[in-house]
Structure 1
Amino acid sequence: MRQKKTEVRMDVEHEIDLLIEEIRRLGSSGADGKIRVKFGLLFSDDKCSNLFEALVGTLRAAKKKKKVNFAGELLLQGVHDDVDIILETD
């Protein structure tokens, strides 16, 4: 049975909320006061790997909704491990 669009949207919102919690847990404040975490740390964290089936997809959705920011469009493990994921919301 197919999910309704509202159910899918709620799932994405829930995933983004979980992502924000994990960024807060793993990250630290930068000079600008915003919390940031390296992609490699987020990707390799055991809790995150168990929470997110598609971390990169969740990051892209969060960026589209302006909840987080990072350089580029797509992050790949290894290549982009040092890229900062910056939390844009309180």
Structure 2
Amino acid sequence: MTKSVQLLEAAGAMLRDALNRRDWEAIGVLDQQCRQAIDEAMDEVPVDEALLRTRMEDLLALYRELVECCRNEQQRIAGELLQLNQAKQGAKVYQLFG
């Protein structure tokens, strides 16, 4: 296994762990590491092309999962903001008539 394939594997494992913990800061840092590992893998002549393809496909699936998780988190936060704004409006009405 080449160094670039090992880097892809390690970066993917750390990214998955950060995603499971919902550690968005770590995900940002690890995203950069994954991009760098991909660049290195693309520049290197693959010794085992099938293994490299498998690691890239695994990483692609992980990124799809990450995007879906981000969408869900965005929707959750939007719902919380909506509830907060509604509560704020209710408090203003209460103060006005209270």
> Which TM-score applies when normalising by structure 2?
0.35
Q: TM-score, normalised by structure 1?
A: 0.38
Greater fraction helix: 2
In our comparison, the structure showing a higher alpha carbon Rg is 2
